[in-house]
Structure 1
């Protein structure tokens, strides 16, 4: 009796392709190879004989990618807060996969044989939309694959959307190699990557003329949230004084939530003023009746406050609280949080004047949102700062991914970026995205960071997300071509008439 033949699931290769992308993506040094697995995804979406099979392929690829790329998320939260929150964090992975798979499937359904042309522009719009709304989440955007390459300099022209278009456009060209004029496609690919690489390598040598002091307290975040971390103010003041003995500095930066009392309080302000140095620090907001996560500038008094504008979904605010509040309440109680858990987001971008430095501040999660640093530069910022508490990430890849994504903010704005983390990553990044100094994680200490003050506005700052608008126009144009083709098929009375009409349409388009 013959044994039944083993039939493998049709989406198994897509799981493998997504896993490969997850393994080589940021922060891996092989991330620049991202167009290769994405080319496989584009080809599979395009060639799927049915919408159902294409949907299976797209979701399997996306699920495998995010399973590797975000593997640190349930592990670190489970380690910090227990298995309940670890399990809930695990649900983020299929949700993130849907945010990729559904729009890509819609692209295939809308553009048919033009799918390979439409996919790169769809990716640009998709990643732009993923940064909007209460569930905004930018991890996995294809453009970040170029962070560690000279091609990242293109971000000064069009931000991450331009990098995403280069990566996904290359993927579509690779996917079309076997169907179209491969010498022409190869030439286009080499010209795109070679020209961008050459242009990016022309970045000038950084010449920072100032010094900041980055203070890393290395405070256990769980102990801090439970009031068991001791006198944080004394800890940071002592570390700062030790660092100031090493030489002159123009600015001191403490991390996110460095102290638990607003610096304007009478019990705190005189101690900070006694340091006699411009200071940027994280502390609770001082708006009565509202809980805020804020950054303050202190220089002979409090000179300004930047409230965190983009809050971490489920970490700092409960999205759709009217719907999810009842589900979230038992989880919050098990973690020891109050029933009315949640912060109030800031609404404005405030540039903090600290000596000659006009500092545009992003608080932790905000460093993955390009528009915030862009708004700061438009408001007069001549240096950027990120204050964070990546200790919540644990020892997985989350903190490193967060750091590498934030490096592009320096390139987009052509500003030095000072980054102070509770347990790291503390570093200084020059206006061309190069890490000038990086300090060890998980240690308490103070670190001298060279920086400079920059002026001028890049095309990305001046023209905002022009690449997103261009992508929308491109999709509208492709949609028009697709609609005309459908109308020709419907109106043609014979194959000969159909062919003649298509040839006439192609001739018109070439003109």
Structure 2
């Protein structure tokens, strides 16, 4: 059944049905022992993450060799273990209120999985609703609120109680009504030129500095000759930047601001976005959330020789990782304040909230999904980031090395999109927006509220266990 839940995540249109396979798991947990709960949940979650992340070995094996296959079951087993431990503890502590507690436990787990250096957001339940009108509710409480809605619906189905299913149906109707009645946003009045270079990822690892600069400068020149723009955006690590690289002087001929992804090497390697105009550096944002085992290597001081042996086996240079940024703030050009979410960062709601609170009125994501090849990984990544536009009610401009390159309006509608796997430019319309949603204002309080609910359920359940059921009546089972 975990496989069926995976099939409701984007790009699948079956998100409406996500609560059904989850309800099956909740029923099994309700009637299982604590030990059995762990086993049932672990296998269910293995099916979920094993299917959802199937693109990982399929897309990376051609680039990194068969060694990536060994990492795939490890990652799936680890993610499944987090589900199993969380729901087993919930089963043990919540007693007869387990069906009420399970949705809150999964919502809290999804939030915790986003934190720390090893944060990983794939599998967050809320994304199952990303392609439905219900996703508009993210304005009120972020993707976590969507996940809670799916979880509570699963609990109502598992309980088989008409009253609870009626309340859940009412909640869905209210969310659907909210989603279908969002007011239209102001017409876009600015133009961005998005540059999709379509550079082979292996060439980027080896280093093709001069060729990369020539490619992006040529695409930019041709694009600006056809259409005026307020900003030009290049993908993540489109070029190398630093002392001794003369090609960056070509920016002097570009008279509009250029927001470019750059690999910096001085004094430490960084993945950054630079804002330049006519060769002058106007602003910079370093990538804060690095990809584990891709941009940084946990325990590298201890495991350095092992990593280097693996790199040699895969035919890669001796990668050293990058230094993370220490803060986030918009980069500014006139009245445009660009909140940059570099590639992987676009899947983390908290980072978008931070940027909007700091004044960002446009969200921009330079990305490089070429590693994913033609698998569904790139599309999953894009659809997850698209929810950031809805949560913050900002235009989201995304430019990928080989795609996905697109403009998304504050209602999450893809207004323009460039086909993948081609070198081209795309002129898109957008507008700065300065509203602040409830999701931005209160999003950080969600985990605390969820934890409080779980604590209250555990306290009530513990009190009941101490007192024992009264002999003169039969208490109804909880939700």
TM-score band, normalised by shorter chain:
over 0.9
Q: CA deviation at 1:46?
A: 1.3
For residue 55 of structure 1, the aligned residue among 34, 38, 48 is: 38
The residue that corresponds to 1:8 in the other structure is none
For residue 331 of structure 1, the aligned residue among 282, 288, 310 is: 310
SS in 2 for 1:402: helix
Q: CA deviation at 1:159?
A: 0.7
Q: CA deviation at 1:126?
A: 0.1
For residue 289 of structure 2, the aligned residue among 310, 323, 341 is: 310
The residue that corresponds to 1:86 in the other structure is 69
The residue that corresponds to 2:190 in the other structure is 210
SS in 1 for 2:324: coil
The residue that corresponds to 1:32 in the other structure is 16
The residue that corresponds to 2:220 in the other structure is 240
Q: 2:52 & 2:68 partners in 1: Cα distance?
A: 19
Matched, 1:200 2:179: yes
Question: 1:24-69 deviations in whole A, cap 9, x for unaligned?
Answer: 3221011221111111111111111x22222111011100111110
SS in 2 for 1:280: strand
The alignment's TM-score, normalised by the length of structure 2, stands at 0.95
SS in 1 for 2:383: helix
Question: 1:201-233 deviations in whole A, cap 9, x for unaligned?
Answer: 112334211111110000001112112576111
Distance 1:122 1:187, change over 3 A: same
Q: CA deviation at 1:112?
A: 2.0
Distance 1:286 1:277, change over 3 A: farther
Matched, 1:43 2:27: yes
For residue 327 of structure 2, the aligned residue among 348, 365, 379 is: 348
Matched, 1:423 2:402: yes
CA contact (8 A) 2:209 2:239 kept: no
Which region of structure 1 is more displaced relative to structure 2, 54-63 or 221-230? 221-230
Matched, 1:472 2:444: no
SS in 2 for 1:248: coil
Distance 1:473 1:500, change over 3 A: farther
CA contact (8 A) 2:274 2:282 kept: yes
Higher-RCO chain (CA-CA 8 Å, sequence separation at least 6): 2
Q: 2:312 & 2:117 partners in 1: Cα distance?
A: 22
Q: 1:127 & 1:271 partners in 2: Cα distance?
A: 45
Q: CA deviation at 1:338?
A: 5.4
Q: 1:56 & 1:173 partners in 2: Cα distance?
A: 23
CA contact (8 A) 2:15 2:132 kept: no
Deviating beyond 6 angstroms after TM superposition, the runs of 4 or more aligned structure 1 residues are: none
Q: 2:417 & 2:47 partners in 1: Cα distance?
A: 32
Q: 1:222 & 1:305 partners in 2: Cα distance?
A: 26
Structure 1: runs of 5 or more not aligned:
1-16, 490-494
Q: CA RMSD in A?
A: 2.0
Distance 1:31 1:265, change over 3 A: farther
Matching of residues 259-278 of structure 1 within 5 Å: 259-262=239-242, 267-278=246-257
The residue that corresponds to 1:95 in the other structure is 78
Which region of structure 1 is more displaced relative to structure 2, 423-432 or 144-153? 144-153
Structure 2: runs of 5 or more not aligned:
none
Q: 1:191 & 1:164 partners in 2: Cα distance?
A: 17
The residue that corresponds to 1:224 in the other structure is 204
Matched, 1:123 2:123: no
Which region of structure 1 is more displaced relative to structure 2, 32-41 or 347-356? 347-356
Higher-Rg structure is 1
Distance 1:325 1:116, change over 3 A: farther
Q: 2:5 & 2:332 partners in 1: Cα distance?
A: 43
Q: CA deviation at 1:467?
A: 2.1
For residue 401 of structure 1, the aligned residue among 380, 398, 407 is: 380
CA contact (8 A) 1:158 1:465 kept: no
The residue that corresponds to 1:10 in the other structure is none
Question: 1:114-144 deviations in whole A, cap 9, x for unaligned?
Answer: 1101011101110011011222110010000
Q: 1:326 & 1:478 partners in 2: Cα distance?
A: 48
Q: CA deviation at 1:326?
A: 4.3
How many residue pairs were aligned? Answer: 475
